[in-house]
Amino acid sequence: MLMELNKLHILAFGAHADDVEIGMAGTIAKFAEEGKRIGICDLTDADLSSNGNVVLRKEEASRAADILGISVRTSLGFPDRGLFLKEEYIQKVAEMIRRYKPQIVFAPYWEDRHPDHGNCARIVEEAVFSAGIKKYRTSEWNEPHRVQKLYFYMINGFHKPDFTVDITPVIDKKLASLRAYRSQFELTAESVQTPLVNDYIETVESRERMFGKLVGVSYAEGFKTKVPLVLKHDLLGEEPCGN
């Protein structure tokens, strides 16, 4: 029964707190409003961030989670700028997948300019595969779990999406979740100059507006996939295909 209560519909992994919000906070808010159970797992505590500190960033992450209505937020405490394809890290991520049994897993787009984001994607991809292998052993939660889908969200830059999610009704929640990270996105007299404190939220908003324009809505988030998508409706978008 406990394992059933733990189950999530979506589990999103990020290298640092705020990664998931940048890429897919709107999608999370949208499904949370529909009653779906969503989780975020940050691989590091972002202890090398130029601004803020670990304690403050955890507080900000908690506020962002409350805004989005997620069910679970956790951190694995891996070293910041130390994310590499290690069996230890794959095993820990696989444990999270087995513990929460998500239908869908999200990770950063693997071609992001930040090495931690790309390495996070590779660790998660390996863990998704390993979590479904019966004889693959982890320290805890050894019952195998096969994730239905693995998708990748975008953090930095503009990339052509393979599909989008309309987030128009929840764009304000997305922006509010980003503003919860004041230490990262708010320029103060004490701030170290980084790309994040130079209108980064406005850049993200512009990107989602651009993605929305591509598909005929006000705002959308873009995602990448390594496998083709199957349409659940016919090409006219009227009736489900088949029975």
pTM of the model: 0.91
Domain hosting residue 39, numbered range: 2-235
Tell me, yes or no, whether 100 lies in a domain.
yes
34 in a domain, yes or no?
Answer: yes
| Domain total in the chain | 1
Per-residue pLDDT in tens (0 to 9) along the chain, 243 residues = 445 678 999 999 999 999 999 999 999 999 999 999 999 999 999 888 777 688 999 999 999 999 999 999 999 999 999 999 999 999 999 999 999 999 999 999 999 999 999 999 999 999 999 999 999 999 888 899 999 999 999 999 889 999 999 999 999 999 999 999 988 877 666 666 776 667 899 999 999 999 999 999 999 999 999 999 987 776 776 655 444
CATH number at residue 116: 3.40.50.10320
- Within a domain: residue 122? yes
Residue 240 in any domain: the answer is no
Residue 32 CA to residue 183 CA, distance in Å, equals: 26
Look at residue 55 and tell me if it is in a domain: yes
- 14 within some domain: yes
Residue 75 in any domain: the answer is yes
Residues 20/40, Cβ–Cβ less than 8 Å: yes
The amino acid at 205 = E
Whether residue 224 is contained in a domain is answered as yes
